[in-house]
Amino acid sequence: MQLRIGVTAGGIGSFGASVEFLWGSRSIDVNLATFTFNEVSLAVTGKQYFGSADLRPFLGVGLWGSVGSTGQDGDQAGKALLLRLPVGGDWNFTGTHHLGASLAVNVGLWIDRADPDDDRPINQSPVPLPGAYYRFEP
């Protein structure tokens, strides 16, 4: 098993941290991120890498959970769970350093809105979000 640790930009948050556990051409990617510091997101994604070159494409499937609040006193937190389907590429530009980019299509599965009077159903329209990362192998 290989371990890669890094930082992320875009995707499930404006910026975040990630840990990826690799077994050959498969991995589990755990990403913790935020957009505004009023919420936190956690995504766990399984990935399949293709090829053995320094630039490897990948496909994945995972779940993205998010909890957020307006930050005002008395507000309850809103929560959401989404399905994410990323496609991207990973570039090993030196022996232990990697850059990557992806486009993940995200679909809402469940929502608990912060406003208890808001009972609208979740919007299940696919939302594509780009993301990038830097990772290193310690």
Structural domain harbouring 45: 2-66+82-105+127-136
Count structural domains, the chain: 1
Domain contains 8: yes
**pLDDT tens for residues 84-131?**
999 999 999 998 999 999 999 999 999 998 777 888 888 889 999 999
Q: How far is Cα 79 from Cα 63, in angstroms, rounded to an integer?
A: 13
Token pair for 93: 């530009």
- Cut 0.85: pTM above it: yes
Does residue 25 form part of some domain? Answer: yes
Q: Is residue 28 a part of any domain in this protein? A: yes
pLDDT at 71 over 90: no
On whether residue 93 sits in a domain, the answer given is yes
Closest CA to 42 of 68, 20, 64: 64
Nearest by Cα to 85 from 65, 101, 57, 107:
107
109 Cβ contact list (under 8 Å, min separation 6): 63, 81, 82, 83, 122
Q: What is the CATH number of the domain that holds 61?
A: 2.40.160.20
* Cβ(78)–Cβ(112) below 8 Å: yes
- pLDDT at position 114: 79
